[in-house]
Amino acid sequence: GLGKVGTLVASLLQHSGFEVTGVDAVARKKLSFKTQKADVTKKADLKKLFKNQDAVVSCLPYNLNLSVAKTAHDMGVHYFDLTEDVPTTQAIIKMSKTSSTVMAPQCGLAPGFIGIVGAALAGGFSKIRNIRLRVGALPQHPTGILGYAFNWSPQGVINEYLNDCEVIQDKKHKWISPLSRLETIYIDGIKLEAFTTSGGLGTMCETYKGKVEQLNYKTMRYPGHVRAIKFLLDELLLREDPELSANILINAKPPVNDDVVYVHASVEGWKKDRLLRDEFVRAYRPQEIEGQMWRAISWTTAASICAVVEMVSDGALPAKGFIKQEDIPLESFLKTRNGSYYNETGLDVNEREVA
């Protein structure tokens, strides 16, 4: 898929020394890598594409990933994607049990990088109380009640807003409603609201069950967003037609170039009998890569999945089976060519004592 993220993924991998072929439903020209037109909804086309390939990176809408993953599994090709869709990931986990190659979904920003950061913070504690992970991809200069711009797939955003969310609450694994548990967060003096959305934790509930009291993921938006979205989905009944919802919202709030990605991860627990909180808080903005300016959401997503591909290729991660994002060492991730893009704002982690 050669949208904004897919095109950057292909370019980054090419500049990392990989031989890349980009695939899209329409012919693409004037790119620095080879391209091919194909219908990825047809298994025969996928089989032809994957012949003699080592790996496939899917930057397709979440609903197209499963057939790509199955074909990669059957043909012994490494598989990576950006999905936040829980049923897709669960199906890929089942596939991975009989896979001769890597099956690595959820390699983007959230799930993806945020889980790597959360696990790195958690690793410093002898006993963990809470893991709270928050991500917001937003316009720098919001307008209107929604205060939003659809720089990411509108279908993916709506999917996150509609599906139930995994959490660990009071040491129990639960499913809760999306667009709930509203809270206020300040980053760089900017007031944001955070609320539950699906998929952001990846497989972390399974990994940390029995090890933490609370674990949850929330999306961050400017204040008032969740109330407006609830009006659209619930009172206007748009949740009954996700495709229409996505079309209406992308028409009303098209992408902007001046975006920002906020990352806020915190872990509370005990170190040598002291109750402490460690935080990783960043605001990532557009960055010039290979002579072109890229939106923050594009490069943070693309750099994350490309870093994981690098680590598998270099032997820093297993060569077969399912890869959990929380099993990827943050330090090694940031030392890769593509993971190093996250270093632009430094790596300081705040540690605070909890009264």
Q: What is the pLDDT of residue 2?
A: 94
Q: What percent of the chain has pLDDT over 90?
A: 90
- Give the pLDDT band of residue 55 (cuts 50, 70, 90): very high
Question: In angstroms, rounded to a whole number, what is the distance separating the alpha carbons of residues 234 and 253?
Answer: 19
Q: Say whether pLDDT at 69 is over 60.
A: yes
Question: In angstroms, rounded to a whole number, what is the distance separating the alpha carbons of residues 240 and 254?
Answer: 22
Residues 310-332 have a mean pLDDT of 97
Give the H or E element holding residue 24.
strand 21-24
Q: Say whether pLDDT at 29 is over 90.
A: no
Q: Say whether pLDDT at 349 is over 60.
A: no
* 287-317 tens-digit pLDDT: 999 889 999 999 999 999 999 999 999 999 9
Q: What is the pLDDT of residue 155?
A: 87
Q: What is the pLDDT of residue 344?
A: 65
- Per the DSSP assignment, residues forming a β-bridge with 270 are 127, 275
Question: In angstroms, rounded to a whole number, what is the distance separating the alpha carbons of residues 247 and 252?
Answer: 9
Q: What percent of the chain has pLDDT over 70?
A: 97
Q: Say whether pLDDT at 351 is over 60.
A: no
Which residue pairs from 46-50 have beta carbons closer than 8 angstroms and sit at least 24 positions apart in sequence?
46/71, 47/71, 47/75, 49/21, 49/23, 50/75, 50/77
Residues 62-81 have a mean pLDDT of 96
